[in-house]
Amino acid sequence: PQFYSGKPFPGGASYLGGSQDNGVPYGTDTGGKEGWKDIKGGDGGEVHIDPRNPQVIFTANTRLSIQKNTAWPPTTNDWAMKINGITEESTNFGFIAPFIMDYNKPDILYTGGKNLWRTTDQGDNWVQAANTETQTSITALAVSADSNTVAFGTQGGVAYVVNNAQTSTASTSPSASAQVANGYISSVTFDPTNANTLYATVSTFGQKHLWKSTNQGQSWTSLDGSGGSALPDVPAHDLFIDPGNTQRLFVGTDLGIYVSTDGGGTWAHEAGQVANVVTERLEYDSQSGNLFAFTHGR
């Protein structure tokens, strides 16, 4: 499949992801390549798994279509729509619209079209969580490790930060708003040990592709590097920060994975275990210590 997103189940022995035209495939280590099965049809979007009960799964199709499944094993018939309270037009949401779960508080999820929305009851009810209507659709979301701050990026290259995100309302203004690049922000990621530090990847050619802010999004600095140890000018899609060593960064790009061990000063192409293929999503399983790459093809 051509994955847009993915997530390992706790322990890392099984996984699922949203894929182009092929719904949500589910696979296991023991099943091998012939053991994958579709648990949802259509275009598959973002996926999330409740860490308290991995039988609770969230996914979406295109635009505003967040759904929940509590059946096990899941089938294509067991999905319930979870968008009550979102009054924004579905056309404001990206084709594969972002939504995230706060994995420290899994009842809380966020999504965005041109506005930021929050649920505190796993999608039964949503409320608007900021007063900014962005000029272009929200394309990326992140929640800080302390659950207090949410960041989001847009198709037009602007990043926003909202503090007190668990209780923010439609009248809450973002604490920061800044133009990161003249391109599509494909991901935003908080440093797992410091909520003031935020990263953004950009998937537009001709732009710098990895940016860092140390003041919660008020200003940004490129980490692409230069010369032979720089990131190439190809779309960057996702970033993983090693929680045990936050100077160790992994970036998923159109040419596979690039790794830095000095906080983005220099980069090396991971040409061993991972193919040179579009890498849309990097997901870490803390139980197994494995980093999973979900690729768009191959």
DSSP class of residue 214 equals S
Cα–Cα distance between 35 and 267 in angstroms, integer? 36
Residue 147 has pLDDT above 90, yes or no: yes
**Bridge partners for 259 per DSSP:** 250, 268
Q: How confident is the model at residue 176 (pLDDT cuts 50, 70, 90)?
A: very high
Burial (CB count <10 Å: 0-12, 13-18, 19+), residue 280: buried
Residue 117 neighbours by CB under 8 Å, 6+ apart: 85, 86, 88, 110, 111, 126, 127, 128, 129
Q: CA 86 from chain center: how many Å?
A: 20
Amino acid at the residue 7:
K
pLDDT reported for residue 74: 80
pLDDT reported for residue 96: 98
Helix, strand, or coil (residue 180):
coil
pLDDT reported for residue 274: 86
pTM of the model: 0.97
To the nearest whole number, what is the mean pLDDT of the chain?
Answer: 96
Q: What is the pLDDT of residues 67-123, one digit of tens each?
A: 999 998 888 888 999 999 999 999 999 999 999 999 999 999 999 999 999 999 999
pLDDT reported for residue 244: 96
pLDDT reported for residue 199: 98
Q: What is the pLDDT of residues 244-268, one digit of tens each?
A: 999 999 999 999 999 999 999 999 9
